[in-house]
Amino acid sequence: MNGLVPADGTPLLIGGKLTPGGSGVFATINPATEEVLGYAADASAADMDAAIGAARTAFDETDWSRDPAFRARCLRQLRDVMGEHLEELRELTIAEVGAPVMLTSGPQLEGPIADLSYAADLAENYAWETDLGTRELMGVASRRVIRREAVGVVGAITPWNFPHQINLAKLGPALAAGNTVVLKPAPDTPWCAAVLGPLIVEHTDIPAGVLNIVTSSDHGVGARLVEDPRVDMITFTGSTKTGRAVMASASATLKRTFLELGGKSAAVVLDDADIAAAASYTAFTVAVHAGQGCALTTRLLVPRASYDAAVAAAASTLSGLAAGDPANAGTVCGPVISAQQRARVERYLALAKAEGGRIETGGGRPADRERGFFVEPTVISGLSNTATVAQEEIFGPVLVVIPHDGDDDAIRLANESPYGLSGSVWGTDPERVERVVAGVRTGTLSVNGGLWYHADAPFGGYKHSGIGREMGVAGFEEYLETKLVATPA
C-alpha cells in the first residue's frame, strides 16, 4: 500500500527481530471499500510465548528499568520517526481504520504521536524517590524512603477504533515507567501497530525485547498474555464483556489489571441552556468516526417541555452529515469497522423500532453506498431510559433522545446506567451546572463543550466502564510499583 508496508505483509516484532507469523498471514480490510488492503503476520501461540519470554528477559537482564534518561531518549526517537512518516501513517490510518482524514490531525494520529513527548518528559522529571524523613519506633530511629519502580512485563491488548491513540497511550507511559511490553493489537487494524516494528528496529535505540508487537487473527493468542505468569500486568481497552473475562483470567496469577471499557454516556441539557445548540453539538459528536468512540455521549437528556425541539435539532444536524468516504476532507461519519459491526448496529436499530422507538433520521445503509460498511447517522426518539438502545453500547452513529423532568431527574437518568465513562452538562447557571457535575458518576465530564482530552489528563471510568486511569500522571503511575525502604537513622 505504501512504503511502510512490505509487499509480503507486516511482520511481528519479537526480541528485536522482525519475524513472520507462525500461522502465516491474515488480511486487513478497507472498511470503506471492503477491499483487501494487504496482509499482516498471523502469530501462533509459540510466537506469543517467544514474545513474552523476550520481554521477561529484557526486563530482568538489562538496565532498561533503571535508566529513565535513556528511556526518554528512545521515546523521543520513536516520536520523531513516526513524525517523519506522518503522511504514510495518515494514508494507512484512513484506509485500515476508516478514520475520517480530519481526525488524523487530532486523536487518530498526530495527537498520540505528540503525546510521546509527555511520556518522555515524565521519565526524566518524575519524582522516583520520596523521603518520608525519620521516625522512631520502639527506640529505633529509621529514615524511610518511598521508591517507585516499574511493574515488570506489561501485556497490552488494544482495540480497533482509535488504534494509534490507544496503542501509544499504553506504550508511552509503560515504557517511560521502565516496563517491557508485549502489544497485541486488534485483528481488524493490525497494520497500525505492526508498522512500528521496522521503525523501532531501524530508527530507535529501544533494546531487543523491550517492545514486542504480536499481530494475530486469533483472540486466543491475546488470551495467553493474560494467563502467562511471566506477565506482571495487563492493560486492556475494549468491551466490558471482554474486560470481565480478562479480569477473571488475570486473577489466577493475581496480575495487576488496567481496564478501559464501555460507555453509554449522557449529555445532560438543563432548561436554561440553548437547547437547540446543545442538541446539535451532541448529535454532531455521535456522527464522528461513525460513533465508534467509547466516550461519546450517545444519550441526550433534555427537558420534557423542550423534547420536540431537541429531537428536531438533533435530526436536522445528523441529516446533514451523510456517511461518506473517510479520505474526503469534509467527511465526519465514515464507515464502521466491519460487516460484523454494521450488523450489530442494524440489530440495535431494529430492536429500537420493536420497542416502540421512532427513527427521526437515518436508520439504515446509505442509498448511495453500494460498497463499504456504512450506517446512516441516526436519531431515535420515543423511548425511555430503560430501553435496550438507551442502556447498551451500540458503537455506531446512533443518538437516543430521552426527556427528563428537572435537574434531579436528569442526574438520576444519567446514573441509571451500568456505565460511567463520560458525559456532558449544558446550562448557564454555574451553581446548577456544578450540582449536576457533582451528581453524575462518570470519569470525565464536559461542561458547555469543554474538551478534556490531552496527554496530561487522566481518562477512565466508574462502574462497568473500567478500573484505573490512562494518560496523565495517574495513567503513568498505573505502571509503577511502590517500594518502601527503611535504614537506621
- Closest to 96 (Cα-Cα) out of 3, 33, 29: 29
The answer to whether residues 253 and 310 belong to one domain is no
In angstroms, the CA 398 to CA 363 distance is: 8
Say if residues 281 and 449 touch (Cβ distance below 8 Å).
yes
Q: Is 220 left (phi over 0), alpha (psi -120 to 50) or beta?
A: alpha
76: domain CATH number? 3.40.605.10
Does some domain include residue 44?
yes
- In angstroms, what is the C-alpha Rg of the chain? 23
In angstroms, the CA 143 to CA 484 distance is: 10
The answer to whether residues 246 and 104 belong to one domain is yes
Is 260 a known active-site residue? Answer: yes
The answer to whether residues 226 and 191 belong to one domain is yes
3-state SS assignment for residue 262: coil
The answer to whether residues 171 and 122 belong to one domain is yes
Q: Which amino acid is at 446?
A: S
332: domain CATH number? 3.40.309.10
The answer to whether residues 72 and 135 belong to one domain is yes
The answer to whether residues 176 and 29 belong to one domain is yes
Residues of the chain with pLDDT under 70: 1
The answer to whether residues 96 and 143 belong to one domain is yes
Does some domain include residue 1?
no
The answer to whether residues 225 and 363 belong to one domain is no
**CA-based angle 190:479:453, to the nearest 5?**
65
Does some domain include residue 376?
yes
Does some domain include residue 458?
no
The answer to whether residues 290 and 353 belong to one domain is yes
Does some domain include residue 247?
yes
The answer to whether residues 481 and 398 belong to one domain is no
The answer to whether residues 213 and 295 belong to one domain is no
The answer to whether residues 321 and 248 belong to one domain is no
pTM of the prediction?
A: 0.97
In angstroms, the CA 375 to CA 459 distance is: 28
- Closest to 33 (Cα-Cα) out of 75, 70, 1: 1
Chain segment 13-47, per-residue pLDDT in tens: 999 999 999 999 999 999 999 999 999 999 999 99
Chain segment 65-90, per-residue pLDDT in tens: 999 999 999 999 999 999 999 999 99
The pLDDT of residue 1 is 61
In angstroms, the CA 436 to CA 95 distance is: 41
Does some domain include residue 283?
yes
Does some domain include residue 461?
no
Domain residues for the domain of 326 are 266-447
* DSSP secondary structure letters along 225-252: HHH-TT--EEEEES-HHHHHHHHHHHGG
Q: Select which of 61, 129, 202, 260 is catalytic.
A: 260
Count of domains observed in the chain: 2
